[in-house]
Amino acid sequence: MTNQKLSAAAMAALLTASAVNHFRNPGFYASVVPRSICRDKGGRFGVLTRSQWIQASGAIEAAAAGALLLPATRRAAATGTALMYVAFIAGHLSALECAYGERGSDREKLVHTLRLPLQLPLIRWAWSLRS
């Protein structure tokens, strides 16, 4: 197995684990979905409910995982995955802002402070799978 295939399989495994967790533990992701895009939270740009956003992102991650494993779809899946991680930055910034707000807990501060910088290596890793 080439390094590229091994790296794609590792990213697919990470995405699969995350996708499964979206359905098993949706509360873990709730704070990362910005209120502004949630129909049920009075968001200006609300298209879906918070729960629907969590389910949709889990489904997208699962689809990306499968597509990364196929050479014919790997380049497109890697591009889409990198863009997905870029889009997730907005949610992580929103969650970080809430964590450091008056109702944020020390645990939320820690979790969201650690989650945000993880997006950059994930973006870079996904982008590297395009070649």
Give the pLDDT confidence score for residue 63 in this predicted structure.
Answer: 98
Q: What is the pTM of this model?
A: 0.88
Q: What is the pLDDT of residues 77-108, one digit of tens each?
A: 999 999 999 999 999 998 999 899 998 999 99
Question: Mean per-residue pLDDT for 29-34?
Answer: 89
Across the range 13-20, mean pLDDT stands at 98
pLDDT of residue 126: 98
What's the pLDDT score for residue 60? Answer: 97
Whether the pLDDT of residue 1 is over 80: the answer is: no
What is the average pLDDT score of the chain?
A: 94
Q: Are 68 and 81 in contact (CB under 8 A)?
A: yes
Asked if residue 8 has pLDDT above 90, the reply is yes
Question: Helices (H), strands (E): how many in the chain?
Answer: 5, 0
Strand residues in 6-107 grouped as ranges (E): none
The C-alpha atoms of residue 55 and residue 24 are separated, in whole angstroms, by 10
